[in-house]
Structure 1
């Protein structure tokens, strides 16, 4: 079977299952960042369900820790945590907190304020040059000055084992990135700071695999992958709508409409 001129990728069904899981987790919690959790989901599916990296040895840092539901769903599917624990997401006394919690097996970074993950990842990459460190950041996080300090640091220390994947969904909690803080010529800025840069479709599994393999082989310079994504990808009426950045209780009608689309 082909889709848009390419064979349907084997990861498509896994991503579909994960979207359903993440949606149910956030809906049950009556709180969660659904839009971003869906925009990064295909990226993280390729990271964890291919053999490009080995996260028993390589490192993954999810800088936007409020997208934790996607990481927890993946960790459940690969057996790092019990899948039976996923319905406890963001509940009182649950280890599966709304922001990533390093007490959870498979999570290396407890998150808080945005913009910190790339600095943490740079330190890991410097201290463990024998393995790769992959950091997932967002375009909105580039409003933070700490991101740019880490970008300079990675170049100075020649962190060729560091990969920063930027989820560019062009949305933040209060509107579009163009309205809040435009990121003009983001690729050119990274290049000027001494990084290699690729720009891809962040929902195309073939492009993601190719870009990650290329970045992995960039052993001299830190590598940046700018992944163009869609906030809320998979639920048409939520896509590119910042009102679904942070989702509270959904009405039964909205819930059924979303489930219908995710189940196709």
Structure 2
């Protein structure tokens, strides 16, 4: 183990994290309003609070020492939410938001529509093909165990991709290898690209499926920052023998009323009128939340 000081977790209060989540959503909408192509805005907004809680509070990482062996590893399995991750990382101090806006989605940009560890230092895994992130995270967690390292591997999945068989093979392997250093967060927004989830795949009883595979299961409101913080604080020690899944009930398009539960906003772009409308809706939802 390195003799460098271990990276620290974020130290924000719940109230500060709520402000950061609003900042993240605001910057996400602004980028969506300037980028000429489509942004996966619906799933970005549903996961924004989770990203904020992880990068602003839960993950033991150091933007100034991104290769520290004691850092927690984050794997974004729902790789199409990359821009939301980039902005959360920028808020944590990994790089600048302005740099994201300048080149997002362009050829050879470090900020692609899906994350690439070769292009962007600080990204632990290149992802995008759904169902692959958890298997990668299992391998990383198993490797950490063999090296007697005590960091966590945290993986964020969309609920739709958990219809993939590779996810459940990984879930079985994680429990079989007693990987208590592995934590999965599921963005349970109950929508797929073109339909609502239960119309295509019968996921329910969803938490029971994870329990049947031997995982420790936490069920929370994925938009309640207090619940997210308490779930992170309640995670078993990384040396424990049971992986944990945090099932976060969320709303696709959260914070922008005309996007919420709206299949048309799985991905899209915002013109000037829609951007103004979206920012007004986001501000109204924030005001209502703190009233």
Name the TM tier (shorter chain): over 0.9
Question: Which residue pairs with 2:235 in the alignment?
Answer: 215
SS of alignment partner, residue 10 of structure 1: helix
Could you tell me which runs of 5 or more consecutive residues in structure 1 were left unpaired when the two chains were aligned: 1-6
Question: Which residue pairs with 1:175 in the alignment?
Answer: 195
- In the aligned structure 2, how far is the partner of 1:93 from the partner of 1:162? 32
- In the aligned structure 2, how far is the partner of 1:21 from the partner of 1:250? 13
Q: Whose strand proportion is higher, 1 or 2? A: 1
**Does residue 1:134 correspond to 2:149, yes or no?**
no
For residue 260 of structure 1, report the CA deviation from its aligned partner. 1.4
Match of 1:104 among 113, 120, 124: 120
- In the aligned structure 2, how far is the partner of 1:151 from the partner of 1:8? 31
Question: Which residue pairs with 1:34 in the alignment?
Answer: 41
Match of 2:219 among 199, 205, 215: 199
TM-score, with length taken from structure 2 = 0.84
For residue 75 of structure 1, report the CA deviation from its aligned partner. 1.6
Question: Which residue pairs with 1:94 in the alignment?
Answer: 109
**Does residue 1:224 correspond to 2:224, yes or no?**
no
Greater mean alpha carbon deviation, residues 9-18 or residues 231-240? 9-18
Aligned alpha-carbon RMSD (Å): 1.6
Which digits, 9 at most, give the CA deviation of each residue in 1:22-59, with x for residues without a partner?
11223322311000001111011011112x43024111
1:55-204 paired onto structure 2 within 5 Å: 55-56=61-62, 57-87=71-101, 88-102=103-117, 103-129=119-145, 130-204=150-224
Q: Could you tell me whether the CA contact under 8 Å between 1:61 and 1:109 is conserved in 2? A: yes
- In the aligned structure 2, how far is the partner of 1:109 from the partner of 1:43? 18
- In the aligned structure 2, how far is the partner of 1:254 from the partner of 1:199? 34
For residue 250 of structure 1, report the CA deviation from its aligned partner. 2.6
Greater mean alpha carbon deviation, residues 77-86 or residues 132-141? 77-86
- In the aligned structure 1, how far is the partner of 2:186 from the partner of 2:242? 17
Question: Which residue pairs with 2:22 in the alignment?
Answer: 16
Q: Could you tell me whether the CA contact under 8 Å between 2:32 and 2:270 is conserved in 1? A: no
- In the aligned structure 2, how far is the partner of 1:112 from the partner of 1:17? 25
SS of alignment partner, residue 164 of structure 1: strand
- In the aligned structure 2, how far is the partner of 1:242 from the partner of 1:61? 26
Question: Which residue pairs with 1:3 in the alignment?
Answer: none
Question: Which residue pairs with 2:53 in the alignment?
Answer: 46
Q: 1:120 to 1:254 in 2, by over 3 A?
A: same
Could you tell me which runs of 5 or more consecutive residues in structure 2 were left unpaired when the two chains were aligned: 1-12, 63-70, 285-291
For residue 217 of structure 1, report the CA deviation from its aligned partner. 3.2
1:237-248 paired onto structure 2 within 5 Å: 237-247=258-268
For residue 8 of structure 1, report the CA deviation from its aligned partner. 7.1
SS of alignment partner, residue 81 of structure 2: helix
- In the aligned structure 1, how far is the partner of 2:56 from the partner of 2:180? 23
Q: Could you tell me whether the CA contact under 8 Å between 2:14 and 2:229 is conserved in 1? A: no
Q: Could you tell me whether the CA contact under 8 Å between 2:33 and 2:272 is conserved in 1? A: no
- In the aligned structure 1, how far is the partner of 2:27 from the partner of 2:172? 38
Number of equivalences: 256
SS of alignment partner, residue 60 of structure 1: strand
- In the aligned structure 2, how far is the partner of 1:142 from the partner of 1:27? 31
Which digits, 9 at most, give the CA deviation of each residue in 1:56-82, with x for residues without a partner?
411111101110011111121222122
